[in-house]
């Protein structure tokens, strides 16, 4: 059972995540969008969207820190467990709270504003459910684990997670984790599996390039290509 939950499920989900994105990018470029609803409503959006997005960015960075950086590294640079802990709880709670409030506003808006609700697909609804579950569970873990008990995920979940990518499998690390972390992990992988089929793909096309891009872009023709149309399959230049 542990193997299924903590080995098979993660790999399946991650595979779906990767292959799914490649597939979506190739076959549904015009559907690769946030499906913005700003046109229908912007008062609530102006409040909820930055709250959610900046919150979730901080949460993401927190996960990079917590999951990606081994405990030994932070200790090597002199950050003690307690310092790290205070820092993580403080920043994590604020970021999580922002995310949660932002998401609550966005979901409220999506349900109550007619035009926005009309523009909501079934996939959107499923995605909101899973995303909300992941976030709520994550925040709950932060609160519960740090206020009521103590579980050092950096020695359990993080190690398990990092080793997945090294094909060094340690399902037992996860099996020992508290229920909250288990659920959060499972829900997160569920989200990863859903990800390529939802509007979440916009994460990979965040318009960061605009920050540094001049206003006008000239694209000259590719010297390697005859004509202006990409050659059809079977009609590429041979030399």
Partner 1 sequence: MSTDVEPESRQPGDREVGLDGGLSEALVRSRRFFTRAEVSDDLRSLHRTGGRGADDFYRDRWSHDKVVRSTHGVNCTGSCSWKVYVKDGIITWETQQTDYPSVGPDKPEYEPRGCPRGAAFSWYTYSPTRVRYPYVRGVLLQMYREAKSQHDGDPVKAWAHVVDNPLRAKAYKSARGKGGLVRASWDEATEMVAAAYVHTIRKWGPDRVAGFSPIPAMSMVSHASGARFTSLVGGTMLSFYDWYADLPVASPQVFGDQTDVPESGDWWDAGYLIMWGSNLPVTRTPDAHWMAEARYRGQKVVAVAPDYADNVKFADEWLPARPGTDGALAMAMGHVILREFFVDRPTPYFTDYTKRYTDLPYLVVLDDLGGGTYRPGKFLTAADLPTHRNAENAHFKTVVMDTRTDEPVVPNGSLGHRFGETGVGRWNLDLEDVDPKLSLADTSWDSVLVRLPRFDTPDGAAQDLSRGVPVRRVGQHLVTTVYDLMLAQYGVGRPGLPGEWPASYDDAAAPYTPAWQEQVTGVPAAAAARIAREFARNAEESRGRSMIVMGAGTNHWFHSDTIYRGFLALTTLTGCQGVNGGGWAHYVGQEKCRPITGWAQLAFGLDWTRPPRQMIQTAYWYLHTDQYRYDHFGADTLSARTGQGRFGGRTTADLIAQSARMGWMPSYPTFDRNPHDLADEAAAAGRPVAEHVVAQLKSGDLRFACEDPDSPENFPRILAIWRANLLGSSAKGNEYFLKHLLGADSSLRASEAPEGSRPRDVTWHDEAPEGKLDLLLSLDFRQTSTTIFSDVVLPAATWYEKHDLNTTDMHPFVHSFNPAIAPPWQTRTDWDAWQTIATKFSELAAEHLGTRTDVVAVPLLHDTPDAMANPHGVVRDWKAGECEPVPGVTMPKLVAVERDYAAVGAKMQALGPLMEKLGTTTKGVTYDVNASVDYLRAKNGAVRGGPADGRPSLKRDVHACEAILALSGTTNGHLATQGFKTLEKRTGTLLHDLAAEHEGKQITFADTQAAPTPVITSPEWSGSETGGRRYSPFTINVERLKPWHTLTGRQHFYLDHDWMAELGENLPVYRPPLNMGALFAEPSLGDVGELGVTVRYLTPHNKWSIHSEYQDNLFMLSLSRGGQTIWMSDKDAAKVGVEDNDWVEAVNRNGVVVARAVVSHRMPEGTVYMHHAQDRLIDVPIAETSKKRGGIHNSLTRLLVKPSHLIGGYAQLSFAFNYLGPTGNQRDEVTVIRKRSQEVTY
Q: Which of 217, 233, 238, 239 binds partner 1 (CB under 8 A)?
A: 217
Site for partner 1 in 142-201 (CB under 8 A): none
Nearest to 92 by CA among 153, 46, 36: 153
> Residue 230: is it exposed, middle or buried by C-beta count within 10 angstroms (0-12/13-18/19+)?
exposed
For residue 14, what are its two tokens? Answer: 């991650």
Stretch that binds partner 1, among 37-45, 86-94, 106-114, 207-215 (CB under 8 A): 207-215
Verify binding: residue 229, partner 1, rule CB under 8 A.
yes
Per the CB < 8 A criterion, the answer to whether 11 and 190 are in contact is no
Verify binding: residue 213, partner 1, rule CB under 8 A.
yes
Stretch that binds partner 1, among 57-65, 101-109, 117-125, 217-225 (CB under 8 A): 217-225
Nearest to 2 by CA among 160, 218, 128: 160
Q: How many residues bind partner 1 (CB under 8 A)?
A: 19
End-to-end Cα distance, the chain: 56
Verify binding: residue 39, partner 1, rule CB under 8 A.
no
Residue 238's H or E segment, with its range, is none
Verify binding: residue 214, partner 1, rule CB under 8 A.
yes
Contact residues toward partner 1 (CB under 8 A) are: 209, 211-225, 228-230
């Amino acid at each position: 059972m542990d193997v299924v939950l903590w080995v098979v499920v993660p790999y399946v989900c991650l595979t779906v995540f990767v292959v799914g994105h490649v597939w979506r990018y190739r076959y549904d470029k015009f559907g690769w969008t946030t499906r913005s609803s700003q046109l229908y409503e912007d008062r609530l959006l102006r409040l909820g969207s930055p709250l959610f997005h900046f919150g979730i960015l901080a949460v993401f960075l927190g996960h990079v820190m917590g999951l990606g950086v081994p405990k030994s590294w932070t200790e090597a640079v002199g950050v003690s467990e307690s310092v790290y802990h205070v820092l993580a709880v403080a920043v994590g709670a604020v970021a999580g709270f922002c995310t949660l409030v932002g998401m609550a506003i966005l979901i409220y808006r999506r349900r109550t504003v007619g035009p926005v609700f009309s523009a909501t697909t079934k996939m959107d609804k499923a995605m909101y459910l899973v995303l909300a579950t992941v976030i709520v569970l994550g925040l709950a873990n932060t609160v519960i684990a740090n206020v009521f008990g103590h579980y050092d995920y950096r020695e359990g979940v993080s190690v398990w997670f990092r080793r997945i990518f090294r094909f060094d499998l340690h399902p037992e690390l996860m099996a020992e984790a508290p229920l909250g972390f288990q659920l959060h992990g499972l829900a997160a992988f569920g989200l990863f599996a859903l990800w390529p089929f939802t509007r979440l793909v916009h994460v990979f096309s965040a318009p960061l390039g605009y920050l540094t891009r001049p206003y006008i872009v000239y694209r000259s023709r590719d010297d390697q290509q005859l004509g202006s149309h990409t050659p059809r399959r079977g009609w590429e230049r041979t030399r």
